[in-house]
Structure 1
C-alpha cells in the first residue's frame, strides 16, 4: 500500500477526477477539474488513465511525501516546484522517493494547479466519480479540502518512467468567446454594447462555483428575475446588482437570474485560469463556430498527450 501524506496544506486542495454526470435533476452539479486539459495532461505524465483522481489547488499547492517511489507531475501554470529543495520543472513527471518532500509553491499565470501521482489517489467512487464537490461536502476525501496530516492511499503504478511533453501547451488567445443566451432577449442594445465592447476582469470573488466579474453593470430591461431554469457550464448570469457572474464546475443546477450569454466550452478553462484583474473582452459567436473551436481544442490536447514520451 502506497500512502500519500499532506505535510503542508495548500489553498483549496481537493481531490478531483472526471466530472460527475447525470445528476443535475437531483441538484448535483458535475464538479470535476476547473481545467480539464491541464488535469488530463498531468494524469498522462504520470501514466494514469482518465478515471484516476489527482489533486487540484488554488494558487498554492502545499507539501507532500509518499511511502513508496511514486511519479509526480504538476500542471496548470508555472508553479514553484521542488523535491527535497531541488527545483524541478512543471509539465513533466519526476520520481518522488520515500523520505523526500514535494513542495509546490505559488502558481503564476493561472489560478488552478494540478498535482498527479502515479497510480492515482484511491478513494471511493460516489455517483460515478471520485471528484470532490465542496459545496455539497461529498466525494473525494471526506467531502472536503485536504488538511495537514491527511493520509491518502495511492493505487499501484504500472511503471515509474518519468515522462515529458515534446511540445508546449498553448491555448487560443484573444477575447473570451460566448454564445448568446439563453435569456439574451432580456437585455437591450445598450446592455449588449457594454457587454461586447467594454473590458471585464475576473474579481477576487471566485471559487469552484462561480467567478464574479469586474466590469460595467448590465441592466436587464425585462427584469432580473426569471422562472428558475437550468444553468449550463459557463452561464453568465446577471442578478439585480448588474454584476456579471460566470458559473463553473460546482454551480447551482438551476438559477432564477437571466443569463445574457454562455462561455463556449473551448474557452471555459481560459476564463477559469485567468489571473484576477487581467482585462479581457467578450466576443459573440454562433453555435457552429463554438463547436469547431471545441473540436480544435480537443485535438490540440489529444496531440500533446500522444506526443508525451519518456525522456
Structure 2
C-alpha cells in the first residue's frame, strides 16, 4: 500500500491503454511514455500491461505503508527513499514507513518530463473496458477516474512478495537517441491532407524548430512555429483520429493528438508521429523545442522493430539477473 503525500500533482494510474473502444467514442488513454512503463514492468517481472503511476508534476511524495519492490523509469527526478538517493531506471526495495520523494527532472536534453513509478505486480485498481488507465475526460478508470491527490491510497498486486532488486538498465533516451540539428526529434509520416498545404509550409515543417507551448497536456500538444498554410481552405467532416495525428487548425499552428485525445476531429491531418516515437514526444517538456523528421512506411515499421529489439534485450537482461544466485 502506498499513500500519496502530495497535492495537485496531476499524477494518474496508467497502463498501456484502452484498445478496442474507439468505435464507442472512448479514447485510448494510457502511459504517455509507454516504453518507460514497459521497461518498468519488465524490471519487476510484472505482466506487460500492469498499471503504474505516471507523474508529470514535481516535487512528488508518497509513503510506503507496506514492504514493496518498485522501479522508477522515465524522467530522472533525483529520487530519494527517505534520505538515500536512488538510481533512475532501477529496481529498489522499500520498507513499510519509508517515504519516496521525486524532485525536478535532471539530465539536460534528456531530462524528460514524466516519471513512471511501477510497483511489484502492478497498481491494483479495477479494469474498465479492458484497461486500468485513467480516462480524465470520461472520469473513469484508474483511481476513481481522476488524478491522484493527497491522502489517496493505492495497493500493489505484489505487496510482500519476493522480488529481485538492485539492478537496472540504460534508459532508451541514451540507447536509442534521435536528434536533428542538436534538438530532440520524432519521425512523422505525411498524412491525408499533407499535399493540401503550400509547398513552402511543407518545407518549413521539416526544416523548422517547434516549441511545445504551455497549452499542452495529455490531450494534445499545441506547437508554435511558422504557420502552416493550406493551398485552399479545407472544410472537413469530423473523422476518426488516434494519438500521434498532427492536425492543423485555422491558426496554422499544429496540434499533436496525445494519449487522452478524443477519437474524432475535423481539422486537416498534416502528418502522424510514428508509434515508435510517441514515447519521445511524451517525455518532451513543456516549453522545449523539437524537430520533425520525415519518414516512410517501411522506415516506421523498422523503427518499431528497433523498439521491440530493445525490449527483448531488456527482457533477456532481467532474466539473467533473476536467475543469478543471490549473494548473502
TM superposition score category, shorter chain reference = over 0.9
- What is the DSSP-based 3-state SS (H/G/I as helix, E as strand, rest coil) of the residue aligned with 1:281? strand
- What does residue range 1-311 of structure 1 map to in structure 2 within 5 Å? 3-9=1-7, 11-60=9-58, 62-108=60-106, 109-157=111-159, 158-169=161-172, 170-174=175-179, 175-308=185-318, 309=321
Indicate conservation of the 8 Å contact 1:69/1:97, yes or no: yes
| TM-score normalised per structure 1 | 0.94
Q: Residues 111-164 of structure 1, C-alpha deviation per residue, up to 9 Å, x if partnerless? A: 121001112211111000001011211100000000100112221344232142
Q: Residues 190-236 of structure 1, C-alpha deviation per residue, up to 9 Å, x if partnerless? A: 21111112211222221111101121111122324311111132111
Evaluate the alpha carbon distance shift between residue 74 and residue 168 of structure 1 in structure 2; reply closer, same or farther with a 3 A threshold.
closer
Q: What displacement does 1:5 show?
A: 0.9
Unaligned 5+ residue runs, structure 2?
180-184
Evaluate the alpha carbon distance shift between residue 10 and residue 104 of structure 1 in structure 2; reply closer, same or farther with a 3 A threshold.
farther
Structure 1: how far apart are the matches of 2:59 and 2:28? 23
Structure 2: how far apart are the matches of 1:54 and 1:168? 18
Structure 1: how far apart are the matches of 2:54 and 2:238? 31
Evaluate the alpha carbon distance shift between residue 78 and residue 167 of structure 1 in structure 2; reply closer, same or farther with a 3 A threshold.
closer
Indicate conservation of the 8 Å contact 2:194/2:271, yes or no: yes
- What is the DSSP-based 3-state SS (H/G/I as helix, E as strand, rest coil) of the residue aligned with 2:303? helix
Structure 1: how far apart are the matches of 2:243 and 2:6? 32
Evaluate the alpha carbon distance shift between residue 178 and residue 275 of structure 1 in structure 2; reply closer, same or farther with a 3 A threshold.
same
Pick which of 120-129 and 174-183 moved more.
Answer: 174-183
Indicate conservation of the 8 Å contact 2:3/2:154, yes or no: yes
Structure 2: how far apart are the matches of 1:257 and 1:77? 32
Cα RMSD over matched residues? 1.7
Structure 1: how far apart are the matches of 2:45 and 2:124? 15
Indicate conservation of the 8 Å contact 1:224/1:240, yes or no: no
Indicate conservation of the 8 Å contact 2:90/2:169, yes or no: no
Structure 2: how far apart are the matches of 1:164 and 1:223? 56
- What is the DSSP-based 3-state SS (H/G/I as helix, E as strand, rest coil) of the residue aligned with 1:78? coil
Structure 1: how far apart are the matches of 2:113 and 2:171? 19
Q: What displacement does 1:167 show?
A: 4.2
Q: How many residues align?
A: 309
Q: Name the counterpart of 2:182.
A: none
Indicate conservation of the 8 Å contact 1:46/1:163, yes or no: no
- What is the DSSP-based 3-state SS (H/G/I as helix, E as strand, rest coil) of the residue aligned with 2:131? coil
